Structure 1
């Protein structure tokens, strides 16, 4: 076995990988479609949250959450959708990646539903005022949009959500035991915790749109 990034035993070929994992069933092989059909459009219309995956031309990857009211992603037609870019931290990781590498993956989630919708394709940064106007919320247009030309769509099974019990409140940890975002940010940024708390409060209450 070869070694990679400090791991002693790794898989080096797809043949070896398949010998362990096996091959997908006919259902899995046939479930991928190349356009947004009525089922995909309905799913997206009910989704308030998705994760965007991108990589730059050197292969450095990023996953970024996007959330808003259900249906915030605008479906233009069976091959195109657009995601509004609301005010954020201005790191613009996804958009910087798209400028050098347009490949993109989307994972749409509906609260309480354990299956997810995956969409893959090519992305562009959109500044079309007519399209941005359609995604206005609380009187404010998004700053830009991430447009996606759809190449693959498929429903993803519920096993990960079932194993994690993500939607089962009885499995949720006590809030008092959860990590503190402000403490983490304070330690990482070397900014006093109270200042970080004030920054977060201002961002969450005044700069969502």
Structure 2
């Protein structure tokens, strides 16, 4: 307990760093995931190819490698951003591939007749997807999306290796101060547990609300 009470501000800053990384990366991942899912089911072949390539590459690329590509690669094109922004880009793009596949699996559960009926009324593909298909698919993708967001929260730990303030990185200064590594990591784990349990409770509630609305 002493390591926590003596260094609460250090833990708190790391906790907030992980929380903000998770929240902002989740917003980016959801926005990109919806867009790429639309590409994946689009009748336009180039968009389907792009969407498939995006998912295939990112799902099969280690996240650490993607961090290196973003943090070390983008500055070579004179793109200089704060390390926090680089981390958000890496985490958001990586997670968007998993969001896309969760959404696509939900879209596939919607009967084809729903889309055909919407198109018969003169709705465009975008209108059909946004107003008819995705609202129905939402009910079946809440739980998978919750798992993806929990994985995102845990993946933020990689950002600490790239000069980003986050929870796991707290162990370095505390280890230098001579605190026991076991208790240092116990409280780090407790911080991650708080975040992941909050995400789990949020998506459980959303899932119950979606079930009631059926």
TM-score for the superposition, normalised by structure 1:
0.24
Whose RCO is larger (CA < 8 A, sep 6+)? 2
TM-score for the superposition, normalised by structure 2:
0.24
Q: Greater share of helix residues, 1 or 2?
A: 2
